[in-house]
Amino acid sequence: MTNFSRQEELVLGLDIGTSAVKVTAINYRGESVSTCEQGLTVRSPRPNWSEQDPRDWWEATSRALQEITSKVSPDLISAVGLTGQMHSPALLDETDNVIRPSILWNDGRTTPQCERLTMALGTETLTDAIGNRILEGFTAPKILWLKDNEKPNFDRLSSILIAKDYITFRLTGEKITEPSDASGTLMLDLRTGTWSTKMLDALQVSKDMLPRIVESTSTAGYISKTAAKETGLTVSTPIVAGGADNAVSALSTGGVTSRTCQISIGTSGTVLLPNEHPNVDSSLKLHCFSHCIPRTWYSMGTILSAGNSLKWFREKILSNMYPFSELDHAAQNTNAGSDDLIFLPYLNGERTPHNNPHARGIFFGLNTSHTYAHMTRSVMEGVAFALKESVNIINQSSESPSKYIVTGGGAKSNLWVDILSNVLEVPLYRTTSITGASYGAGMLAALNQRWFTSAKDITNLWVSSELSSIPNPDMKETYHASFDNYRTLYQKLSSMFKS
């Protein structure tokens, strides 16, 4: 490889998302030099099922890398960092062929398996070692589902690799993972950082089926000759182990210490706070996972329909009559509290804090004076109330953060950020630098290449933010009352959802 100065070198961040594979090329100053995406399709062969073929991940990855290497010289690429959707496994046989489509993170078929694993392991093991409730989206119950429902496929099972780790295998031939994705399988002991014998025994899975665990900034392997031909990358380019998408997205916004809380309004919504130890919520309403930063973990609350609630309202109820910008403008001209209209954003069930797959969305309090503008604002407020429930639990189990950063597509709306600031009663910051999973994966590649000595160093130089919204004291009483009504409404309806 030709020698170049560090200022000319590039790192790539590669994100194996649910809707697309995205690659970002980043230079030494943290600037995005080039990006490209290749779309992916989610299949639903039955209601409540969600699947993708891991071979489609690879096809999209090879096309994306071919496109990026047609725009930047492969010789300038010093390393590639990986990230991707959590929990979604590639299941391989002994010849490393894909056995069946991957059961994705948003698949809901495994309720019976979740209940059986919970009974088998008990609350003490879940709290002390796994750090999470066993929920349908996680990897472990999917393996038990395979055993229960597709025994011939289970008998062929030889390797289990999460999405980004399957791509690492296709690029390098190495079966490697790292703590953030390993913890998302629920097969990792958070305290020891090793595979949990109790969970593997319950699943009847051997450690030999699971990849070796290394640090997120470690070199997982090097581009093989075959992969070089298929991607355009140079043979022996280092592939960095990387991290789960939530973890690397937090890195990209500066979420590396327990003083900074990241709130994301994406398709789903998350509240994420790093910790210096596994801070497991005793009620297990929060998730606890390993971070992509060494000796760091994070607590996370998740709501399943954040930006998706507004997307649903615009597309399915308003038939795409208005662009998002017009909806935003109309909602801006309505009163705080949406004139007593309440929206529960539980379109596809809910995780934090209810863990109720049967919960459903509700507009409550409609009258003839309400318009689509009130309903739009009510959706935004309902999502903000759902996020507040996660923030409240995090603040009960941790020292309150000194800074809150809001990100995701919903954060582009000044109104939505203002609503969230008033509901949470805290100032909110927005990043002014590039964010996202592929960018965070590139940051891990830069750390691998010793461009920086620590996560704090790279975030200090590559990540910037500015104050975006402060609470308006005139809205405090209104939002207190609305939030109380929001919680009461769910409590009144919770017993009815399942029936």
Mean pLDDT of 455-467: 96
Higher pLDDT, 400 or 125: 125
For residue 25, CA distances in Å to 33, 38, 80, 457, 460 come to 5, 15, 9, 20, 20
Task: Retrieve residue 235's tokens.
Answer: 């043979």
Mean pLDDT of 441-464: 97
pTM (two decimals): 0.92
Q: Measured in Å, how far apart are the chain's first and last C-alpha atoms?
A: 65
Instruction: Give the rounded percent of residues in the chain with a pLDDT score beyond 90.
Output: 92
Question: Counting Cβ atoms within 10 Å, is residue 72 exposed (0-12), middle (13-18) or buried (19+)?
Answer: middle
- Res 5 pLDDT > 90: no
- Res 3 pLDDT > 70: no
Instruction: Give the rounded percent of residues in the chain with a pLDDT score beyond 70.
Output: 99
Question: In CATH, which superfamily holds the domain spanning 6-247?
Answer: ATPase, nucleotide binding domain (3.30.420.40)
User: 245, 328, 340, 418: which one is catalytic?
Assistant: 245
Between β-strands 188-189 and 159-162, what pairing exists: parallel, antiparallel or unpaired? unpaired
CA distance 444 to 250: 12
Provide the Cα torsion 189, 195, 197, 199; round to 10°. 70
- Give 293-321 pLDDT, tens digit per residue: 999 999 999 998 999 999 999 999 999 99
Q: Could you tell me which residues are beta bridge partners of residue 238?
A: 222
Average pLDDT, the chain: 95
pLDDT reported for residue 267: 86
- Res 16 pLDDT > 90: yes
Give the rounded distance of the alpha carbon of 83 from its chain centre: 10
Q: Answer whether 6-247 and 254-434+464-499 agree in fold.
A: yes
CB 80 within 8 A of CB 190: no
Provide the residue ranges of all domains of the chain, joining segments of one domain with +: 6-247, 254-434+464-499
Mean pLDDT of 404-428: 96
Residue 201: active-site member: no
CB 136 within 8 A of CB 357: yes
Task: Retrieve residue 122's tokens.
Answer: 């008990």
CA distance 321 to 191: 51
CA distance 103 to 143: 10
Q: Does domain 254-434+464-499 have CATH number 3.40.50.620?
A: no
- Res 183 pLDDT > 90: yes
- Res 2 pLDDT > 70: no
pLDDT reported for residue 492: 95
pLDDT reported for residue 1: 42
